[in-house]
Structure 1
């Protein structure tokens, strides 16, 4: 599965991406800010990350910036299971933060999630800054007062997170079912 946006090319990671991804995640500023599984930090973890089985219902992409000389990996975005929920994760390399790439990638993955039939996606913001919250809100997420499950809390090693929820219900289908219900009442 591939997604093209105005400036980005989202695609699965391949074993051929090993050297570039090792170099990207070696940057100390690359830390998970929006939910999901931990980032790979060692060459062994990167190799495992690139070889892991893929679930077509839970796509995960490397974010590639389309440039004249070819694509350059600048981050990652995808969906994962978090207990009974579907959770979005996203990170961007330091030199590319603050340029709208994360929001562009998140919106593209939410569109894909809607196409896959998901009606709700959660995101946990672990960032100390407000940038991640802005990205999520610009992409259609709303702050939630829900508390993360023990699965998420154990995974974060005690770090607090703000939970956001994106409701992806097909607005047209919802309006049709509401109007049909009103017609039958």
Structure 2
């Protein structure tokens, strides 16, 4: 897998990968319905090098874009969001993308990442825990365009990037018996 910026030639593939109601219902920042104009706007938006927003790809595979992961600022904290296209669910892609983003976030100078998931999406909670995030005990709400703008409760998780070893290639996250690949952030 590879994390890289989205390019203009990705618009069609990006739209096909993300434009699923099952994905949109779980995200706070995705316009819904999502179309190629939204993908064009995403690709063209000005980027903050300290808050990267990247696509997750499987190089050489047909339909190479399988997800996305990005950082954004909420009240001075770095929050991470992610998604995976439904045909790729259950393959460990989100966990590996989060691990790669944690490595990149540390390189960008972030000491802590915050994440949340819709309360009715426990699989996302497992992904966060497998990537080294821990529950903070707080539950917040966010408005989801994929749910008609209705609020959804969301347990909060955090990952301390300043602690040694907690975001390194899966050494102390998840099942230590499972071999782990490495997500490599692509040069922008």
> TM exceeds 0.5?
yes
* Structure 2 gap segments, 5+ residues each: 166-188
User: Quick one: higher RCO (CA 8 Å, sep 6+), 1 or 2?
Assistant: 2
Q: 1:47 deviation in Å?
A: 1.2
CA distance in 1, matches of 2:20, 2:163: 39
Q: Is the 8 A contact 2:67 2:84 kept in 1?
A: yes
Name the SS of the counterpart of 1:144 in structure 2: strand
Measured after TM superposition, the shift of residue 129 of structure 1 is: 2.9
Quote the offset at 1:12 in angstroms: 0.5
Q: Which moved more, 1:58-67 or 1:40-49?
A: 40-49
Unaligned runs of 5+ in 1: 1-7, 173-185
| TM-fit CA distance, 1:29 | 2.8
2:11 paired with 1:21 = no
Contact 2:139 2:153 in 1 (8 A): no
Please name the residue that 1:44 is paired with. Answer: 37
- RMSD of aligned Cα (Å): 2.2
Q: How many residues align?
A: 160
Distance change (3 Å), C-alpha of 1:125 and 1:83: same
Whose helix proportion is higher, 1 or 2?
A: 1
Paired position in structure 1 for 2:53 = 60
Matched residue, 2:156: 163
Q: Which whole-Å deviations, capped at 9, do the CAs of 1:98-155 have from their partners, x for residues lacking one?
A: 010110110010011111111111001115232111110111100012354xxx6356
Aligned equivalents of 1:36 and 1:120: distance in 2? 20
Contact 2:113 2:160 in 1 (8 A): yes
Q: Looking at CA atoms only, which structure, 1 or 2, has the larger radius of gyration?
A: 1
Which residue matches 1:104? 96
SS of residue paired to 1:58: coil
Q: Does 1:86 align with 2:69?
A: no
Match of 1:141 among 133, 146, 159: 133
Structure 1 residue aligned with 2:178: none
* TM-score, structure 1 as length reference: 0.77
